[in-house]
Structure 1
Amino acid sequence: MAAGKRTAADLGAHICFEDEAGQGLRPPKGRTWAPRGARPVVRVRGRNRGRVNVAGVVCYRAGCRSRFFFKLHIWHGRRGEPKAFSWRQYRDLIVMTHIQLGTPVVWCWDNLNVHLVKELADFAEEHQDWLQIFQMPSYAPELNPAEGIWSLLKRAPGRLRRRRPNAPHPRDQAETEEGPVPVPPGRRLSATHRPDHGRGHDQTAGLHEFTLSNSRAVNAV
Structure 2
Amino acid sequence: MWRTRLHHGRKGERGSFSEDDYVAFLDQAHQRLQAPIVLIWDNLNTHVSHRMHALIAVRPWLTVIRLPAYAPDLNPAEGVWRWMKRGLTNTAAHGVDHLAELVKRRLRACQQQTDLLAGFLASTGMTLEPEPPR
User: For this structure pair, what is the TM-score category when the shorter chain's length is used for normalisation?
Assistant: 0.5 to 0.7
- TM superposition outliers: structure 1 runs of 4+ over 4 Å: 157-161
Match of 1:75, SS?
coil
1:220: Cα distance to partner? 2.2
Residue pair 1:111, 1:136 contacting (<8 A) in 2 also: yes
Residue 154 of structure 1: aligned partner: 85
What CA deviation, in whole Å up to 9, does each residue of 1:169-188 have, x standing for no partner?
xxxxxxxxxxxxxxxxxxxx
- 1:133 equivalent to 2:32? Answer no
1:137: Cα distance to partner? 0.2
Q: Work out the CA distance in 2 between the residues paired with 1:120 and 1:76.
A: 26
Rg bigger for which structure? 1
- 1:99 equivalent to 2:31? Answer yes
1:131/1:148 Cα in 2 relative to 1: closer, same or farther (>3 Å)? Answer: same
Q: Work out the CA distance in 1 between the residues paired with 2:47 and 2:12.
A: 22
Aligned length: 105
| Aligned ranges 1:50-89 → 2 under 5 Å | 69-89=1-21
| Aligned ranges 1:169-180 → 2 under 5 Å | none
Q: Work out the CA distance in 2 between the residues paired with 1:75 and 1:144.
A: 24
Structure 2: where are the runs of 5+ without partners? 89-101, 121-134
1:76: Cα distance to partner? 0.8
1:119: Cα distance to partner? 2.1
| Aligned residue identity for 1:131 | L
Residue pair 1:110, 1:135 contacting (<8 A) in 2 also: yes
Which structure has greater strand proportion? 1
| Aligned residue identity for 2:5 | H
Residue 197 of structure 1: aligned partner: none
What CA deviation, in whole Å up to 9, does each residue of 1:82-131 have, x standing for no partner?
12111110111211222222210111101111111222211221112x11
Q: Work out the CA distance in 1 between the residues paired with 2:107 and 2:118.
A: 17
Match of 1:127, SS?
coil
- 1:220 equivalent to 2:119? Answer yes
1:117/1:216 Cα in 2 relative to 1: closer, same or farther (>3 Å)? Answer: closer
Residue pair 2:84, 2:107 contacting (<8 A) in 1 also: no
Seq. identity, %: 33
| Aligned residue identity for 1:127 | R
RMSD over aligned CA atoms reads 2.6
Match of 1:138, SS?
coil
Which structure has greater helix proportion? 2
